[in-house]
Structure 1
Amino acid sequence: MSDKRHGISIGIERLDNQFYLNLVAKGKLTHQDYQYMVPLLESALAGVEHPEINVLADLTELDGWELRAAWDDLKLGLAHGRAFKKIAIVGEGNLQQWMAKVTDWFTPYDAKFFESTTEAHQWLKD
């Protein structure tokens, strides 16, 4: 067990007149992280009749996933993909850029990788 901080933070933010889901992932994510996060996200989505949610996913401090957590992430995307409109992934490096491409291929929403939060915000507004 590592003492290094890890986990997922979820919030709602507003940019100009648009609201979006702000997700920040830190450290190496575990299955237990998803055990806590998924019910919160599902509860929030249940309250929206026809969700079309934009997401800013900040992965700049993400070190990766345990194998079971990566499976949890894929299941979450497949189960709730229709609730999302766009996901802007902000990160660093080829792995995160590759993840954005794979996400875009296998889910019904648009996913795009950015190295800049400013560029990600602009894309979410368009």
Structure 2
Amino acid sequence: MANETHGISVGIERCDNEFYMTFVAIGKLTHEDYEYMVPMLEAAIAGVDRPEINVLADISQLEGWELRAAWDDLKIGIEHGKAFKKIAIVGEGKLQQWMAKIADWFTPYDAKFFESKKQARDWLND
């Protein structure tokens, strides 16, 4: 049996005077990955009265979701979408670009696809 790396890391980055919540998704995400990540996200949002969070999401190493994990991702958008102001999605390929466009259509925040982190940060700073 091969070991396959997968998961979500959550962090905070700073660029000049702007802070970003960062997500890096690796491999094929599972429901268990979301069970670890969601409490961290909720704890970060809980301390802010009216959060307007900019997010830098790196999905360049994402290979997809298990069905239940895709449902978990949708629930995050529904339950916490108003906390996010902008989400810059860094990835590669037409499929990931299409996923970013779908996110922009069905969520209350602005989502845009980029092929570089610099372009993504520049857009978040506007």
Q: TM-score, normalised by structure 1?
A: 0.97
Once residues 2 and 88 of structure 1 are traced to their aligned partners in structure 2, the CA distance between those partners, rounded to angstroms, is 32
Partner of 2:123: 123
Partner of 1:108: 108
Once residues 78 and 18 of structure 1 are traced to their aligned partners in structure 2, the CA distance between those partners, rounded to angstroms, is 25
Q: Which amino acid counterpart does residue 71 of structure 2 have in structure 1?
A: W
Partner of 1:73: 73
What are the superposed Cα offsets for residues 44-70 of structure 1, whole Å, 9 maximum, x if unpaired?
100111100000000111111111101
Q: Which amino acid counterpart does residue 63 of structure 2 have in structure 1?
A: D
Q: CA deviation at 1:86?
A: 0.2
Once residues 37 and 2 of structure 1 are traced to their aligned partners in structure 2, the CA distance between those partners, rounded to angstroms, is 24
Once residues 45 and 80 of structure 1 are traced to their aligned partners in structure 2, the CA distance between those partners, rounded to angstroms, is 9
Once residues 4 and 36 of structure 1 are traced to their aligned partners in structure 2, the CA distance between those partners, rounded to angstroms, is 17
Q: CA deviation at 1:102?
A: 0.7
Q: Percent identity?
A: 72
Matched, 1:29 2:29: yes
What's the Cα RMSD here?
1.0
Alignment gaps of 5+ in structure 1? none
3-state SS of paired residue (1:3): coil
Runs of 4+ in 1 over 4 A off after TM superposition: none
Once residues 35 and 64 of structure 1 are traced to their aligned partners in structure 2, the CA distance between those partners, rounded to angstroms, is 17
Q: How does 1:1-126 map to 2 (within 5 A)?
A: 3-126=3-126
Alignment gaps of 5+ in structure 2? none
Residues 79-88 or 2-11, more deviating: 2-11
Once residues 58 and 77 of structure 1 are traced to their aligned partners in structure 2, the CA distance between those partners, rounded to angstroms, is 17
Q: Which amino acid counterpart does residue 58 of structure 1 have in structure 2?
A: D
Once residues 46 and 78 of structure 1 are traced to their aligned partners in structure 2, the CA distance between those partners, rounded to angstroms, is 16
What are the superposed Cα offsets for residues 25-44 of structure 1, whole Å, 9 maximum, x if unpaired?
00100000001110110111
What are the superposed Cα offsets for residues 11-35 of structure 1, whole Å, 9 maximum, x if unpaired?
0111110101011000100000001
Once residues 16 and 42 of structure 1 are traced to their aligned partners in structure 2, the CA distance between those partners, rounded to angstroms, is 25
